[in-house]
Amino acid sequence: MGEIFDEIELSEITGPLIQKIPETLTGIERHEKMGDIIEAQESGVRLKMRKLLDAYLRKMQQNDASDIDLGGPGCGGKVWYRVHGTKSPASKKSMYKLPETDFLLHNVIMPRQREHLLENRNLDFSYTIDGESDNAQRFRADMYFDLEHLALNMRKIDNTIRPFKGLNLGPEVAKALSLTYYKYGMTLITGITGSGKSSTLDTIIDANNRTVDAHIVIIASPVELIHKPIRSIVRHREVGRDVKSFKAGAIQALRQDPDIIMIGELRDPETIMTALEITDSGHKTFGTLHTSSAMESIERILGEVPVNEQNRVRTRLADVLTCVISQKLVPSLDGKRVMAKEVMMTTPPVQAAIRNNNIGEIYQMLMEGSEHGMITMEQDLKDLYDQGKISKQEAMNNANNKKRMQQLISKTDF
């Protein structure tokens, strides 16, 4: 499918559709009308539009891109790709008009999804090309509004699970992540959006799936990589499709005889409290947070609960927290990206620091805790710099503690 299709035929398909929209309609009412028009189209028209989007997604795979963006004024009528961390538009002579991309995106979703989108102004969902076979490529999608027009981001879900050894975690940390050695406890995988948290979680889940006879329940929004049962039963429950919320999925999982519960995102106080409770009841729990360090993760959890509840939650967190892995994807000297991480194990001194609200003391414990597999982000960045994988500037840019990073690099350079 080439340039002629995307530049000419889309306008030919959407031209008659655009003419059906009353000029007086604006805002949500306009999009409701667009949805009605799309749903009234014959399957051949909708299939052509879907094939166009699929062509861009295949091009995304060819370019080794992680993300695609289109629609809304912010894209300037172009299709954008993120390749190895850098986002730029695809070369294209002409540009799409906003009503054309509005219809293109309305065509992707189902009526109930459209209702959710128009009510919440945002929709998370998964998308698949090449059917449901083993070769199917899945994407995590987010559709939203940009100045009253639809915009879309899709992130490619890596079908290849990285080997557990590739995480470069110490033996004590590896034991903490395995159901074989730790039957219960909470592990947090943290980092900003796009830092590879989902890939790390998938690697951990896969390692357990291959080594223990158990029941794993994955609650995600949306479900990304599909794990085939190997030695474990693996349930995938997508928020909005299979279960109403992360909290509901976690509570319901307790009645499903699980050994491991993975909560895709601890995004609100209710879900955080539920995760603590189900871990406290004797389950092994994994979850993610949008935080950049172990200490920030602890502070974030405590900050999400009312002041009068913080002492109780602090004690519970100290009891159930097993491990925190905070990670970043850092541009490497070979033009790709490499993972840098901070690892905290909840040793007795760390437990005491959490209970006594001395969170600031934990950083020193990480620096001196290598025998337990602990490492600070700055120490790991220094190791990557010493190995010639990243530049000094990238090490500084990605450090949480700039002063400490400068001290570590100065020692090496000296």
Q: What was the pLDDT predicted at 47?
A: 92
Spans of the chain below 70 pLDDT: 1-8, 92-94, 131-135, 412-414
Residues 34-46: b if buried by 16+ CB within 10 A, e if exposed: bbebbeebeeebe
Same domain, 53 and 124: yes
**Do 124 and 258 lie in a common domain?**
no
Q: Which helix (H) or strand (E) holds 51?
A: helix 43-62
> Among 128, 156, 184, which residue terminates a domain?
156
Q: Is 388 exposed, middle or buried (0-12, 13-18, 19+ CB in 10 A)?
A: exposed
Q: Which segments of 37-177 are extended strands (E)?
A: 65-70, 80-83, 86-89, 122-129, 137-146, 149-156
H helix or E strand, kind and range, residue 302: helix 294-303
Residue with tokens 């070979």: 334
The whole-number pLDDT of residue 3 equals 45
Q: What is the CATH number of the domain that holds 45?
A: 3.30.450.90
The answer to whether residue 266 sits within a structural domain is yes
Residues 142 and 225 in one domain: no
Residues 186 and 329 in one domain: yes
| Cα separation, 173 vs 169, whole angstroms | 6
Has residue 243 been placed in a domain? Answer: yes
Q: What is the pLDDT of residue 5?
A: 47
Residue range 109-166, pLDDT digits in tens: 999 999 999 999 999 888 988 755 566 888 989 999 999 999 999 999 877 888 999 9
Does 186 map to a domain? Answer: yes
Separation of alpha carbons 240 and 103, rounded Å: 23
Residue pLDDT, tens place only, 156-182: 987 788 899 999 999 999 999 999 999
In a domain, 313, yes or no: yes
Please answer whether residues 400 and 294 qualify as being in contact, where contact means their C-beta atoms are separated by less than 8 angstroms. Answer: no
Q: Where are the alpha helices (DSSP H) in 336-401?
A: 348-355, 362-367, 377-386, 392-398
Do 122 and 260 lie in one domain? The reply is no
Which CATH number is 250's domain given?
3.40.50.300
- Given 129, 156, 183, the domain boundary residue is 156
Tell how strand 65-70 and strand 80-83 pair up: antiparallel
**pLDDT the model gives residue 7:** 52
- Asked whether residue 168 falls in the same domain as residue 205, the answer is yes
Residues 305 and 349 reside in one and the same domain? yes
Please check whether residue 387 lies inside any domain of the structure. no
**Full residue range of the structural domain in which residue 86 is found:** 3-156
Query: How far is the C-alpha of 96 from the C-alpha of 109, rounded, in Å?
Result: 20
Global pTM value:
0.79
Residue 206, classified by CB atoms within 10 Å of its CB into exposed (0-12), middle (13-18) or buried (19+), is: buried
The answer on 222 and 347 residing in a single domain is yes
* Pair (119, 233) in one structural domain: no
Question: How much is the pLDDT for 46?
Answer: 93
Q: Is residue 199 part of a domain?
A: yes
Q: In terms of domains, do 335 and 232 share one?
A: yes
Backbone angles phi, psi at 71, to 5 degrees: 90, 155
Q: How far is CA 12 from CA 16, 17, 31, 45, in A?
A: 7, 9, 20, 11
Strand partners, 127: 139
Assess contact for 281 and 238: CB atoms under 8 A.
no
State residue 62's pLDDT score: 87
Q: Do residue 73 and residue 216 come from a single domain?
A: no
The residue from 127, 156, 185 where one domain ends is: 156
**Full DSSP string of 161-198:** PPPGGGG---HHHHHHH-TTT-SSEEEEEE-STTSSHH
What's the pLDDT at 30? Answer: 95
| 265 within some domain | yes
Q: Is residue 405 part of a domain?
A: no
Question: Which of 191, 413, 210 is CA-nearest to residue 293?
Answer: 191
The answer to whether 179 touches 260, Cβ cutoff 8 Å, is yes
Count of domains observed in the chain:
2
Cβ-Cβ contacts under 8 Å for 413 (sequence gap 6 or more)? none
Is residue 152 located within the same domain as residue 198? Answer: no
